[in-house]
Amino acid sequence: MDKNKRMAKEILKAVGGVENIAAATHCMTRLRLTLKDDTIPVDEDVKNIEGVIGVNRTENQYQVIIGPNVAKVYDAVCQNGVIGNQTETKQDDQTTDCKKEKLTWKSVGKKILNYMAGCMTPMIPILLAAGLINAINSICGPDMLGLYTQESNMYILLHFLYQAGFYFMPILIGINGAKLLGAEPMLGAYMGAILIAPEFISLIDAGNGFSILGIPVTLTNYSQTAVPAMLSVFAMSMIYKFMNKWMPDIITTIATPLLTILISTPIALCLLAPLGVNIGNLISNGLLLFSEKTGFIGLGVLSALWEFLVMTGMHLALMMPMLASFFETGQMTGATLCGTFATWAVFGVALGAALRMRGKKNRAMNLGFFVSGIVGGITEPTLYGLCFNYKRCFVTMMLGAFVGGVYASITNVTVYVMTNANFLSLLGFAGGTLSNIVNGIISCVLSLVVAAVATFIAGFSKEELKEGK
């Protein structure tokens, strides 16, 4: 018998059988079971099952720690009688209707991070594939080997394959978010599609005003964004569950999806989706002012926070004055360089994880994250696929970016050439003095090395390393 099927049978037997399972799902390493009677399983018996690493109990879930093959065990559990559709719509302790967890700042923060991670983790194969495709294009295209030109069909093909992986991110997030929150996944996809509908994008391009019932809509391109879709789908899911609960059965099939979309769309377009942008502008401008007033410390702090700004779209508020300054002066210095060191710190996190994590699958995946970053200039796989699942990696990334930013500020590093966000960004320091080139390279290498070393030493808990073997 296949070992995963054997594990599934033994786990089911140990937890009281299929009839004792209210819901089941899995994350990257754990089989998560919501049990009707959680007194039945004997933890030591479950731990003694060959292939099981450990057991963890939460207020809502019985978690069996398995490792990278958890998805195969989960599939085998479903094949043994657990209803797959039921398990897919409830993913984590924040979405179950079991015991109510006491709300604290810590628990709320955990729920938010779990929701964001749950939205992004299933997208890892897409983010990784798209990132590596862009890396191939960078290597083989005009940037390096010059095997084909930017106008060639091959370059165009690989470029839109890369873009497709990121442009439709709101739709993919919509599906995942709706599943997590117990709503209809296709309505989640619909909500994500609304944010990037061609007609909506054309309004943005035309610069025309638009309103819903007299309420003005902030015209913003939400393609390749994550947070606006997460917020919008959250609201949509709450409305959907309310409608589904109270709508008469005779009309629910038609009325529930119709009213859900009609009610949630104005909330999304007029309030939630632009909320992150508006708040982000305030935060970004505040951070820019902070960096200007606090010298090299401020630059280090802004570098450390840069990727969080990118994930929420807040960095756009800083990019315009940065670009305007570059076009006017032909150079970038100070706060305008933060993104460079933050990016190299992300490369370092992926490298440190590839060296530290156990198991061929995890090492290969993180090495792929590193390659897609340093060659293709794509940081999303590392941010969403690694850092969201191992929260310490956010800290090590911030540390690396901070050190690189501080060194660059102290040595007055300047960028003279706009380049790609990959290793070619080192060329941006050419154009001034030799010392500028050297210090620019040192700043980037410092960001990478510090982040990699910090990730290797402190990026993962003992339990996380054990789970990932």
What pLDDT digit, counting tens, does each position of 347-376 carry?
999 999 999 988 777 888 899 999 988 988
pLDDT at residue 156 in the model: 95
Within-domain flag for 187? yes
Same domain, 253 and 123: yes
Chosen domain end from 48, 69, 99: 99
- Comparing 41 with 104, the larger pLDDT belongs to 41
- Comparing 87 with 312, the larger pLDDT belongs to 312
**DSSP 8-state code for residue 196:** T
Within-domain flag for 435? yes
What is the domain extent for residue 52? 3-99
Chosen domain end from 250, 280, 310: 280
pLDDT at residue 145 in the model: 85
Confidence of residue 277 (pLDDT cuts 50, 70, 90): low
Angstrom CA distances, 158 to 141, 152, 170, 206, 376, stand at 10, 10, 21, 29, 12
Confidence of residue 97 (pLDDT cuts 50, 70, 90): very low
Same domain, 294 and 442: yes
Could you report how far apart the first and last alpha carbons of the chain are, in Å? 23
Q: What is the mean pLDDT of the chain?
A: 83
For the residues 160-174, what does the mean pLDDT come to? 89
Same domain, 137 and 242: yes
Examine the pLDDT at 339 and tell me if it is beyond 60: yes
Torsion, CA 27, CA 31, CA 36, CA 40, rounded to 10: -150
Within-domain flag for 9? yes
Same domain, 403 and 295: yes
Residues facing 216 on adjacent strands: 211
- Comparing 412 with 331, the larger pLDDT belongs to 412
The number of beta carbons lying within 10 Å of the beta carbon of residue 404 is 34
Confidence of residue 210 (pLDDT cuts 50, 70, 90): confident
Tally the domains of the chain. Answer: 3
Within-domain flag for 167? yes
For the residues 451-462, what does the mean pLDDT come to? 94
- The helix or strand, by DSSP H or E, that contains position 441, with its residue range, turns out to be helix 434-458
Highest mean pLDDT of the ranges 196-210, 311-325, 399-413: 399-413
Same domain, 265 and 163: yes
Same domain, 263 and 323: no
Within-domain flag for 111? no
Examine the pLDDT at 335 and tell me if it is beyond 70: no
Same domain, 225 and 299: no
Same domain, 418 and 320: yes
For the residues 431-438, what does the mean pLDDT come to? 85
Same domain, 323 and 429: yes
**pLDDT-above-70 percentage for the chain:** 85
Within-domain flag for 114? no
Same domain, 14 and 94: yes
Burial of 194: CB neighbours in 10 Å, binned 0-12, 13-18, 19+: buried
Q: The domain that contains 35 carries what CATH number?
A: 3.30.1360.60
Contact 446, 399 (CB under 8 A): no
Within-domain flag for 225? yes
Chosen domain end from 219, 249, 280: 280
Same domain, 346 and 316: yes
For the residues 218-235, what does the mean pLDDT come to? 86
pLDDT at residue 422 in the model: 84
For the residues 134-150, what does the mean pLDDT come to? 86
Within-domain flag for 433? yes
Same domain, 256 and 345: no
